[in-house]
Structure 1
């Protein structure tokens, strides 16, 4: 069976033998895992991102020095949040990342997303705005392609559903106001919040965003379905149409 990069990382933990049969000096990283775990037990907040990532990688790579892999992931994606939000296919482009590592990293992101969604959905969405913003940033800030989502709300402005209604390219996702309203009627929603991301990182709304929002608002007005806001998510923050006075 062919050796994988993950196998070679594990092999690196095995002290070899000199030609003469004497044990080779122990690799410098031996003992590092336990030292890092002890520091983590004292508190995670002081740890830099690469060490947090190491602690996650310990779960899927049982032996060997994972610090180079943690730093390679951060260099490839730019931040810890971007590493965790990356797709399994994108993660596997980094040498040393196999299916198990990609799965474990994706599990962390999914857990964070569910925690944020739960916090946003426990109360009326418009009265827990900070939780909502945290949720949409977790869900979309590092998406590599534009995605259009709709949050459907009931009469108490509590979340009924969060659905993806359009996926597209790096700078466009198709949006059909008729489909947005059709789905709102199916869910008996009284209000909606539009959400989409800008993979460029800049959340500034475009002219196309403004025009599309105007069409959805008009369609909703005819059906007495209120559009509370349109949020544009980027790595640099979240732009609110309502706060910007765009509708």
Structure 2
């Protein structure tokens, strides 16, 4: 049986490795996937992001211990960096600060999202969480917590205290940076 070569000339592979958006070259990838005929082709941005999401879930499975602010910042940066709309997410933890579940509860616009404390409390009770770490992203790349960020953190902390769930932190993800509100003394 003759061997099939999948090596192409540089110019051909360069041409297939460029993804265009709106007529502009916007992405070059060295990652390849097999197409339906079994040929290797450049992975699309959405395929790469889907696999990255799976890799993050593999790296942080249920039971992961949130033992430091750095772990929390890294976790939420991996989950929320690059989002185009503001997304509010919660890591639900047990008494040993082990991850029970991660849920994205609210998705808003490029500048804000409406957060309902009742829904956060309901999710914490459903998952039997003892503690939570709150997080949301700033598509504007601003790392500073806004006044609204501080206010909703206080409201959520009060609501969750009523059902004996501790708020450990609120992480803001801005681009590739993550900032702990607890580190800033705001939780």
- Corresponding residue number in structure 1 for 2:103: 163
Encode CA deviations 1:205-240: one digit per residue, 9 max, x unaligned. Answer: 100000000001111112110011000101151110
Instruction: State the distance in 2 between where 1:169 and 1:219 align.
Output: 25
SS in 2 for 1:245: coil
Query: How many pairs align?
Result: 166
TM-score, structure 1 normalization: 0.59
Match of 1:199 in 2: 139
- State the Cα distance separating 1:182 from its structure 2 match: 1.1
Instruction: Pick 1 or 2: higher relative contact order, CA cutoff 8 A, min separation 6.
Output: 2
**Equivalences for 1:81-120 in 2 at 5 Å?**
104-120=44-60
Flag structure 1 segments of 5+ consecutive residues without an equivalent. Answer: 1-29, 35-57, 59-63, 81-99
Q: Which has the larger radius of gyration?
A: 1
- Pair 167,124 (structure 1): closer, same or farther in 2 beyond 3 Å: same
Change (3 A) 1:221 1:172: same
Q: CA RMSD of the aligned region, Å? A: 2.8
Q: Identify the structure with the greater helix proportion.
A: 1
Q: In the aligned structure 2, how far is the partner of 1:189 from the partner of 1:138?
A: 22
For residue 25 of structure 2, give the secondary structure of its aligned residue in structure 1.
helix
What does 1:67-82 correspond to in 2, within 5 Å?
A: 69=19, 72-74=25-27
C-alpha distance in 1 between matches for 2:115 and 2:103: 13
Which has the larger share of strand?
Answer: 2
Give 1:31's aligned residue: 9
Structure 2-normalised TM-score? 0.76
* Residue of structure 2 aligned with 1:151, choices 91, 111, 135: 91
Distance 1:110 1:68 in 2: 19
Alignment of 1:133-144 (within 5 A): 133-144=73-84
Q: In the alignment, is residue 173 of structure 1 matched against residue 125 of structure 2?
A: no
Deviation at 1:114, TM superposition (A): 2.4
Cα offset, 1:124, TM superposition = 4.4
